[in-house]
Chain A
Amino acid sequence: DGGITQSPKYLFRKEGQNVTLSCEQNLNHDAMYWYRQDPGQGLRLIYYSQIVNDFQKGDIAEGYSVSREKKESFPLTVTSAQKNPTAFYLCASKNAGGTDTQYFGPGTRLTVL
């Protein structure tokens, strides 16, 4: 089965903790993206990567960090510097170039206790 997997499905974080959200794809896509979705709002871009070992900040990168050591993996770390991390996090991937659609994972719901 080709696709994008995200884990865990639900994640709970205590104040001051860093947590890492996993995103893996077996679609052989070059580009990967992390979005945040808040209730009643559209998706906002956190970070994106077009190639291994390279990534760029999106519109709301503060308090987040990423790595891209392998083509198939793009983990997102939510650091303690992110003051309001409770949200639904979605990972996506696509082929290089602008014509193809993005394929999305099932999402991770992060809640701060």
Chain B
Amino acid sequence: KQEVTQIPAALSVPEGENLVLNCSFTDSAIYNLQWFRQDPGKGLTSLLLIQSSQREQTSGRLNASLDKSSGRSTLYIAASQPGDSATYLCAVNGDGGNTGKLIFGQGTTLQVKP
């Protein structure tokens, strides 16, 4: 059974710092992996989606990498800003892509201090 783990559960950094969020999964047979952002009491917003054949995806100050063989993904945030404060969730799609079913990690709650 696929399990997704995110470490750390919470992270606090000063503004301007570069940071890395970690996501690990137990079954390397994934179809794709996504990173989402969730603000308190809100829905999820997709940040980056990496297909199983890809190594990384970039959007602005965000860069997500994928290493299927080791069961790891990282989300790199450059030059962090207070507006980046939120919970970040990773999710894997391991169901052959047919159903789109996602398995989520518990999330990392990020606080960026001004």
Q: Which residues of A contact B (CB under 8 A)?
A: 4, 6, 31, 33, 35, 40-45, 48, 50, 56, 58, 88, 90, 92, 94, 97-107, 109
Contacts and interface: CB of A to CB of B under 8 A. Distances in A.
A43 B91 CA distance: 9
A42 B104 contact: yes
Interface of B: 4, 9, 31-32, 34, 36, 41-46, 49, 51, 89, 91, 93, 95-102, 104-107
Nearest to B105: A42
A92 B49 CA distance: 16
Nearest to A32: B100
Contacts of B4: 42
> Which secondary structure dominates chain A's binding surface?
strand
Contacts of B31: 98
A109 B64 CA distance: 31
Given A90-B44, A98-B95, A100-B100, 12 more contacts: A40-B9, A42-B4, A42-B104, A43-B44, A43-B89, A48-B99, A48-B100, A58-B101, A102-B44, A102-B102, A103-B46, A104-B36
Given A97-B97, A101-B46, A102-B100, A42 B107 contact: yes
A48 B4 CA distance: 20
Contacts of A42: 4, 89, 91, 104-107
A103 to B, nearest CB: 7
A75 B44 CA distance: 19
Contacts of A94: 100
A40 B38 CA distance: 13
